[in-house]
Structure 1
Amino acid sequence: MSVTTTDGVLALVRPDLRDFAGYSSARSEGGDGRIWLNANESAWDNDASPDSGLRRYPEPQPAALRQALADMYGVAAAQLLVGRGSDEGIDLLIRALCRPGDDAVLVTSPTFGMYAVCARLHGTRVVDVPLTDTDDGFECDFDAVATTAEKEDARIVFLCSPGNPSGTLLPRDAIRRLARRLHGRALVVVDEAYVEYAQAPSVANLIEAHDNIAVLRTLSKAHALAAARIGSVLAHEALIGVLRRCQAPYPVPAPSAQTALAAISRTARNSTVGHVQAGVDERKSLYAALRGLAGVRRVYPSRANFLLVRTADTERVYRRLLAAGVVVRDMRGHAALGDALRISIGTPEQNACVLAVLREVLGELADARSVAPVQGDNA
């Protein structure tokens, strides 16, 4: 059934999509049918995977997984959309709310690049209110964000918390105040891909009181299912309904859904909690060790599973790490991060390898400076 009301969050949806019915897949029809002959599937299994069920299209929104994720995230199942990682959620939100060539989204750089990529692919303007680099790390100027969003008619404000690559956890009350100020004007999307490592509460429970807040969650990070591509959008159920109609018919492969269900069982989640704590402990140890190295200009405090690091010779450090088989993220393409690398937190052995390489290369740089010839009359 189409939705025609423009009350609340639906007023932010593109007018031409408010009555959009989307594609009605064959799997969404038929109820408890016994003989399924409506989707043009093969009548025989593939010999490589007999009795796997893979010849059938999967549920568009796997009910058991959707309910399990909703329970884990503390929302109603009707407030959750399962998709192909957070990337699909970002893309769907932009497509549903932003008119190509007309509307804008707001980002706070340095931040996750897919917000801008999806917007530009959709023909949507990207407005940037950069984070402020302070002695305590990167901070968000929420007043500037709100003012700019109003001035530029931004339809969506993307906030990453903890930020990627900043590692900054945004204040809950500031997010709530921003949503209140922009109510009826913009959707505030909080990307919580790394929130488990912050060991802090989600802002998802603000959705009930603020229908212009949406939250992105993923199983790719703390739950170690990056290859399964399972992400969720948490939002007011009216907006979830719109996103479902904009989504591809079968976004979640059955094997991924089955793996995800097992990965968020109570037993598996207890194990995940232990892995997260180990990651947090390693983050603290690596942070302290990096701060003690000569040639490391700055290590930013982080509430995620990575550290943002500035060094005296980032090109040389990056190349030496690669030569040692250690691949880190080069952040120098960001305007404000011309000397920075992002280092994911690994196992104790992996982190020790990173430190060994850094000690060697930075030690060489220090030695080179100490023996540099003095420039004088006879130089």
Structure 2
Amino acid sequence: MSGDLLSLVREDLRGFGGYSSARSHALDGEIWLNANESPWANPADSGSSCRRYPDPQPAPLVQALSRLYGCEPAQVLVGRGSDEAIDLLVRALCVPRRDAIVTTPPVFGMYAVSARLQDARLLEVPLVDGAAGFTVDLEAVARAAEQGVAKLVFLCSPSNPTGGDVPLDGIAALARRLAGRALVVVDEAYGEFSGQPSATTLIGEHANIAVLRTLSKAHALAAARIGTLIADPALIRVLRACQAPYPIPTPCADLAIAGLSPEALARTAERVAVVRSERARLAAALASAPGVRRVYPSSGNYLLVRFDDAQAAFDGLLAAGVVVRDQRAAPRLGDALRITIGTPEQNQRVLAVLAALEAAA
């Protein structure tokens, strides 16, 4: 890690070794009596895979993720979804009551939650609601980070719930301007649904860029809780020292590895293509539907939609068995719902319900 990037880590954690677990060292033997594990498998554990503590960073999974995201294994940290990586970054970089993070609301709420838990200051730079949808004012973000002594800038791309991408050239310019001051974290949880290349392509030239990815969305493994942080290898080492000893359960790691096989990846690509096609179809249909004020352009697997009567739309869909995300408590989204792109049949049901509501009004 360059000196500039190392300086962003809390002073008291730069040489922190963390907890040395029973799986921290490469040991080999026939009888394992070093971790106080049961010598017998649980009766329900037919494969006997759960009586042993897992590898903190399972090598086959790390290698599969590095291939998937086009990076080196040393750049990969696997954790409990993206949420754990967000929390680790805030705890490792922000000194309580001194340092700050920058976010761009309306946006994913865990950035602010992690800041509050760490007692780090939250600097909000609202997205700009314009003709092209919600966009990030990167100049305002840079000024807020500089003036507010921010250690972390979180950019969600595609942004949740608004759907817009953050341009790569803008991310690179921001990282260049904040070099030695802040880490720019690009959350690409929905990156598979976007046509924009990943910000991982910028890390080689900008060590103060980190990228969040997940298997929860496009790869349909939300319950497995497999999130990935891709960053400078030395920052990864710092965060591993701060991470809980055994973050990835063996069954989850095994499922993820199987879900990243060539055959599984081919099916995933087919389904992503369907989502993109259905996203365009649903957006066009909603845009011309009575009672809909605006449908925002989206690069994710969801659409943000403003309604004349969002309560009636939400209630009507729920009564028909369709659950969507109520966004009305979010800043400037008092009339909006977020609708995930489902199967063609599920999307058609959404349209039919909304049409019936208007007909009955």
Deviation at 1:205, TM superposition (A): 1.9
Cα distance in 1 for partners of 2:228, 2:56 equals 13
Ranges of 4+ aligned residues in structure 1 off by more than 6 Å:
none
SS of 1:13 mapped into structure 2: coil
Q: Look up the match of 1:253.
A: 249
Cα distance in 1 for partners of 2:48, 2:281 equals 45
Q: Look up the match of 1:325.
A: 321
Q: Look up the match of 2:305.
A: 309
Amino acid at match of 1:83: G
Match of 2:180 among 184, 190, 193: 184
Structure 1 residue ranges without an equivalent (≥5)? 366-379
- Superposition map of 1:36-55 within 5 A: 36-55=32-51
Q: Look up the match of 2:354.
A: 358
Cα distance in 2 for partners of 1:187, 1:253 equals 29
SS of 1:341 mapped into structure 2: strand
Match of 1:296 among 287, 292, 297: 292
Amino acid at match of 1:344: T
Deviation at 1:116, TM superposition (A): 0.4
SS of 2:338 mapped into structure 1: strand
Residue 24 of structure 1 pairs with residue 20 of structure 2: yes
Cα distance in 1 for partners of 2:174, 2:91 equals 22
Q: Look up the match of 1:285.
A: 281
Cα distance in 1 for partners of 2:286, 2:26 equals 59
- Superposition map of 1:238-249 within 5 A: 238-249=234-245
Deviation at 1:6, TM superposition (A): 7.4
Deviation at 1:30, TM superposition (A): 4.6
Cα distance in 2 for partners of 1:183, 1:270 equals 38
Cα distance in 1 for partners of 2:26, 2:147 equals 49
Amino acid at match of 1:39: A
Q: Look up the match of 1:10.
A: 6
Deviation at 1:8, TM superposition (A): 2.7
Amino acid at match of 1:280: R
Q: Look up the match of 1:105.
A: 101
Judged with a 3 Å threshold, the aligned counterparts in structure 2 of structure 1 residues 312 and 235 are, in CA distance, closer, same or farther, namely same
Cα distance in 2 for partners of 1:322, 1:133 equals 28
Deviation at 1:50, TM superposition (A): 3.5
Deviation at 1:260, TM superposition (A): 0.3
Deviation at 1:208, TM superposition (A): 1.4
Q: Look up the match of 2:199.
A: 203
SS of 2:23 mapped into structure 1: helix
SS of 1:248 mapped into structure 2: coil
TM-score by length of 2: 0.98
Cα distance in 1 for partners of 2:58, 2:306 equals 44
CA contact (8 A) 2:105 2:331 kept: no
CA contact (8 A) 1:70 1:77 kept: yes
Residue 341 of structure 1 pairs with residue 337 of structure 2: yes
Q: Look up the match of 2:75.
A: 79
CA contact (8 A) 1:61 1:82 kept: yes
- Superposition map of 1:27-176 within 5 A: 27-176=23-172
CA contact (8 A) 2:96 2:120 kept: yes
Structure 2 residue ranges without an equivalent (≥5)? none
CA contact (8 A) 1:294 1:363 kept: no
Question: Could you give the per-residue CA deviations for residues 79-134 of structure 1, whole angstroms, max 9, x where no partner exists?
Answer: 01001100001000000000111111000011101000111111111110000000
Cα distance in 2 for partners of 1:33, 1:234 equals 33
Amino acid at match of 1:354: V
SS of 2:220 mapped into structure 1: coil
Question: Could you give the per-residue CA deviations for residues 143-200 of structure 1, whole angstroms, max 9, x where no partner exists?
Answer: 1100111000111000000000110011000000000000000000000000100132
SS of 1:157 mapped into structure 2: strand
Cα distance in 2 for partners of 1:99, 1:287 equals 43
Aligned length: 361
Cα distance in 2 for partners of 1:129, 1:217 equals 23
Cα distance in 1 for partners of 2:358, 2:111 equals 35
Cα distance in 2 for partners of 1:290, 1:181 equals 40
Deviation at 1:34, TM superposition (A): 2.3
CA contact (8 A) 1:8 1:211 kept: no
CA contact (8 A) 2:115 2:122 kept: yes
SS of 1:188 mapped into structure 2: strand
Q: Percent identity?
A: 60
CA contact (8 A) 1:9 1:238 kept: no
Amino acid at match of 2:146: E
Range moving further from structure 2, 23-32 or 260-269: 23-32
Amino acid at match of 2:240: R
Range moving further from structure 2, 203-212 or 151-160: 203-212
Cα distance in 2 for partners of 1:279, 1:68 equals 24
TM-score by length of 1: 0.94
